[in-house]
């Protein structure tokens, strides 16, 4: 079944209304339910999971410093939509199939509100995971303006819960950003880019076996997933009618495994103004943007003088990344049709300068950690990935001190690029440097084979997810705080995260 392109209009995600708001606090209730939604005009309605009846969920918009409380409520049925692998840690037969816990990706938040994978809860909170602490989460939003997103984070089934639809945007705004006069209001549009496959009847397809089936297992986790279509804000290959003026788009890769290398077929420049964790110092004009799962790019696209043109946003990222199987590449994302009249003169700007970014100094680091990304084999002969050669269950080894700065060397011994995400903090990328993997495997020593490469201009800002490329050591620097307690770090390829490429870490006093 081949779906036509650009037949559905891009959905503009609704902004979530608070249940309660006063000068001291804002309170939201967010229900997770199962419902049917049209994902493409030629497809029967698809059963999905979403927040407040919407896939992706409604956008939560808050002000920097606003005290926000959210009760995430599981109103889902007892049976999962997608194939659960009961051999995966945390998803054995001794727990209910349908469990949820919500993490705001990028949030600086106290540990009990961070959505720890073992803090899951079921419909009506009737059963909860071993690390469950509270029903109402607290977000202090002590951050500058930024594009974050919320998504499910349940141990062993994150890939399935997110694939079913549990993800949405969470934006923090601030005065400084407003003063920059960026395109705003209806000209500021978040775009969640995801890949999905469908059965003929319109239902979501997710494989229950890898290409080489596992003997004796009815359902097995797969090492990677690539959908055959690309959705933006919940529609397959949509179009957006735009005015001939500037727009701000917050690009988010919300896919399980797929990377995107985004270009415009008009060849025009995209002006990137922000990274994962907020605005950059100054905009950069670029022709392509690479986004691994969970990475964001805040961009401005200028459609001025392009009346009547159709501009396609394309993708040519290898899948898997970087060693592609060309059959997996899906090259179209969406289309912009410059067909609306200009309603007002466009007075928004692409600023010369935006915000200072304090560069963290290497000398300020009190601890250096060397952490490998490894391939391994499980008892069924399935390949799986580890961080520092340790499984999720192994006791905590990363325990940074509150307020201390650390440098982490991510030593990638595998053949994939892994998007490594650390909860609670933002980091800066120091550099990436090629090394000899064979020598490392034999002697445990890093032999560099070339010079260190600085991060790409697109990555020069605050980040919370970094691409750790194969045969490279990626160095990141960060300061831990302002909270202490239990968090996680992991690969954001959800099929990896669910199967052991995740570790707990603890910020200590
Ligand atoms: Cu976007 Cu630990 O997650
Ligand atoms: Cu996160
Ligand atoms: Cu990975």
* pLDDT averages per 10-residue partition of the chain, 509 residues: 94 98 97 98 98 98 98 98 97 96 98 98 98 98 98 98 98 97 98 98 97 92 97 98 98 98 98 98 97 98 98 97 92 98 97 95 98 96 96 98 98 98 98 98 97 97 98 98 98 98 98
Of 262, 256, 329, 328, whose CA–CA distance to 289 is shortest?
A: 262
Residue 56: helix, strand or coil by DSSP? coil
Nearest-angstrom CA–CA distance, 506 and 294: 22
- DSSP conformational letter for 254: -
Instruction: Note the pLDDT of residue 325.
Output: 86
How far apart are the CA of 96 and the centre of ligand 2, in A? 24
341 close to 243: Cβ distance less than 8 angstroms:
yes
pLDDT at 393: 96
Q: What SS3 string covers 363-427?
A: HHCCEEEEEEEEEEECCCCCEEEEECCECCCCCCCCCCECCCEEEEEEEECCCCCEEEEECCCCE
Q: Which atom of ligand 1 is nearest to the CA of 488?
A: 2
Q: Residue whose CA is closest, atom 3 of ligand 1?
A: 105
Cα 178 to averaged position of ligand 1 atoms, centre (Å):
28
Structure confidence at residue 81 (pLDDT): 97
Which atom of ligand 1 is least distant from the CA of 497?
2
pLDDT confidence of residue 333: 98
Is there a contact between 314 and 230 (Cβ–Cβ < 8 Å)?
A: no
Determine what percent of the chain falls in helix, strand and coil, rounding each to the nearest 5: 10, 40, 50
Q: Which atom of ligand 1 is nearest to the CA of 115?
A: 2
Whose CA is closest to atom 1 on ligand 1? 105
- Assess contact for 407 and 477: CB atoms under 8 A: yes
Query: What residues are neighbours of ligand 2 (ion), with CB under 5 Å?
Result: 105, 423
Ligand 1 neighbours, Cβ below 6 Å, are 103, 105, 151, 153, 294, 421, 423, 488, 490, 492
**Alpha-carbon distance 282 to 417, whole Å?**
28
Per the CB < 8 A criterion, the answer to whether 100 and 156 are in contact is no
- Separation of alpha carbons 336 and 189, rounded Å: 13
| Rounded distance from Cα 149 to ligand 1 centre (Å) | 9
Give which of 230, 286, 287 is closest to 258, Cα–Cα: 230
The pLDDT score that the predictor gives to residue 324 is 84
Q: Which ligand is nearest to the CA of 490?
A: 1
Closest CA to 418 of 309, 499, 361: 499
């Amino acid at each position: 079944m081949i779906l036509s392109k650009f037949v559905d209009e891009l959905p503009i995600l609704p902004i979530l209304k608070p249940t309660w708001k006063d000068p001291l606090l804002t309170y939201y209730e967010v229900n997770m339910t199962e419902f049917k939604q049209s994902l493409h005009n030629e497809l029967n309605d698809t059963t999905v999971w979403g927040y407040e009846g919407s896939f992706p969920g409604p956008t939560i918009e808050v002000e920097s410093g606003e005290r926000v409380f959210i009760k995430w409520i599981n109103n889902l049925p007892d049976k999962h939509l997608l194939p659960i692998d009961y051999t995966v840690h945390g998803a054995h037969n001794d727990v209910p199939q349908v469990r949820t816990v919500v993490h705001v990706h990028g949030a600086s938040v106290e540990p009990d509100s961070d959505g720890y994978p073992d803090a899951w809860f079921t419909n009506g909170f009737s059963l909860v995971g071993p690390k469950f602490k509270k029903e109402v989460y607290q977000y202090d939003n002590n951050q500058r303006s930024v594009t974050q997103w919320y998504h499910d984070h349940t141990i062993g089934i994150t890939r399935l819960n997110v694939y079913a639809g549990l993800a949405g945007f969470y934006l923090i705004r601030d005065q400084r950003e407003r003063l920059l006069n960026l395109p705003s209001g209806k000209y500021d549009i978040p775009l969640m880019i995801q890949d999905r496959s469908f059965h003929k009847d319109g239902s979501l397809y997710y494989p229950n076996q890898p290409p080489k089936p596992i003997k004796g297992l009815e359902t097995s986790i797969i090492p990677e997933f690539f959908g055959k279509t690309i959705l933006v804000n919940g529609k397959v290959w949509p179009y957006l009618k735009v005015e001939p003026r500037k727009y701000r788009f917050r690009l988010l890769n919300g896919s399980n495994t797929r990377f995107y290398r985004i270009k415009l077929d008009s060849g025009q420049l995209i002006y990137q103004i922000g990274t994962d964790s907020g605005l950059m110092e100054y905009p950069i004009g670029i022709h392509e943007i690479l986004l691994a799962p969970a990475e964001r790019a805040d961009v401005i696209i200028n459609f001025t003088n392009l009346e009547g043109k159709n501009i396609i946003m394309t993708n040519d990222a290898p899948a898997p990344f970087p060693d592609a199987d060309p059959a997996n590449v899906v090259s179209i994302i969406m289309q912009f049709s410059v067909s609306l009249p200009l309603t007002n003169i466009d007075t928004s700007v692409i600023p010369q300068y935006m915000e200072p970014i304090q560069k963290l100094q290497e000398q300020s680091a009190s601890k250096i950690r060397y952490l490998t990304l490894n391939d391994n084999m499980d008892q069924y002969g399935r390949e799986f990935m580890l961080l520092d050669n340790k499984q999720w269950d192994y006791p905590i080894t990363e325990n940074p001190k509150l307020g201390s700065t650390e440098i982490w060397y991510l030593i990638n011994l595998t053949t994939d690029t892994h998007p490594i995400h650390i909860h609670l903090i933002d980091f800066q990328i120091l550099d990436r440097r090629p090394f000899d993997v064979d020598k490392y495997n034999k002697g445990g020593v890093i032999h560099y084979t070339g010079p260190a490469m600085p991060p790409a201009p697109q990555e020069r800002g605050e980040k919370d997810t970094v691409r750790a490329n194969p045969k490279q050591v990626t160095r990141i620097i960060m300061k831990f705080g302002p909270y202490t307690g239990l968090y996680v770090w992991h690969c954001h390829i959800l099929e990896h995260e669910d199967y052991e490429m995740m570790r707990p870490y603890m910020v200590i006093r």
